[in-house]
Structures are given as structure tokens and as C-alpha cells.
Amino acid sequence: MQDPVRDQAFLMKTVLQVSVPMWLLRLQDFAEDTQDDEAARWAHDAADVVASKGDVLQYGGPDTAGAFNAMSRGLAALATAPGGVRFLGLLWCVEHSPGGRDAESGENVCRYCVSDEEPVNDDAIPLVRARVDLTRNARRLAPMGRYL
């Protein structure tokens, strides 16, 4: 028998591992001197949406996609802070884990940010960037769509 709560958490974690790096890429589109201000705005907006639509994220309903996008954008903004952000057992850190990685037991901040330990290479951004480029060129690549 399937556990709907476990399935929902697995789905959310999987989708966040794609969406958060995509928002991090979007943040890089801003001028370097405005990225911090933009990240702060994203985090503030996400806090408002998640506070007012948390039930929609949990149970579904109107504007679930908008609430999810706001939460994902907010996690991307928090990933730019020193130590990153942990959510649902995943940890995102723009410096060391932009693709999100499983957080170790008791690891509430990126251990690579607070120690001399060598980081693992779990940079998923190049993979997401390739997928975004394919999506932007979808019309030109339409005949190849069945292979993507």
C-alpha cells in the first residue's frame, strides 16, 4: 500500500531539486550589485505567500503552482545566505550545493561553509542550464522532441 504523505514529500523534494537551481540561475541574470537586493525581495515575497497559502501547498487548491513557485524562489534566495538553507531534508547552498543535496543528520547549515572540509561536487546547475536551453529552443528542436 502506498503512503500518500511519503509520496507527496518525495515528489516535492524531487521537483524542488529542479526548481530551486532554476531560480538560482534566474538570480544570476541580475546585475551582480543587485543580486542581494533581489534575493531579499524574493525571500520577503515568499514568506508572505507561504504564510498565507501554506494550506494550499499542503492540500492543493487554487494557485498551488503560484504558491509552489514562491516557495521555490524563496528557497533559492535563502540558498544565497551564508550556510544555505535546509528544507525537507535537503540542503541548498549557492557556493557548495546549488542543486540541493541530502542534509546529514544534525546538519542545519552547509558544513562546507563553516569548516575547512573539501566540498563534494554536486553542482546540478549545468544540467538544469542545459534543460532550460533546450526548453527555450523547443520550437527549433521540435522534430527532435521524441528523443528529449
111 grid coordinates: 558544513
pLDDT of residue 130: 43
Could you read off the pLDDT of 135-148 as tens digits, one per residue? 444 444 444 333 33
Position with higher pLDDT, 40 vs 117: 40
pLDDT in tens, 35-64: 999 999 999 999 999 999 988 888 888 889
Indicate whether this model's pTM tops 0.85.
no
Spatial separation of the C-alpha atoms in residues 75 and 26, rounded to whole Å: 13
Sorted by where each begins, the domain ranges of the chain are: 4-147
Phi, psi dihedrals of residue 105, rounded to the nearest 5°: -55, 125
How far is C-alpha 26 from the chain's CA centre?
Answer: 11
**Main-chain dihedrals φ then ψ at residue 87, nearest 5 degrees:** -155, 130
- pLDDT tens across 51-100, in order? 999 888 888 888 899 999 999 999 999 999 988 999 998 999 988 888 88
102-109: long-range contacts, CB 8 A cutoff, minimum separation 24: 109/82, 109/83, 109/84
Cα 68 to Cα 51: distance, rounded to the nearest angstrom: 12
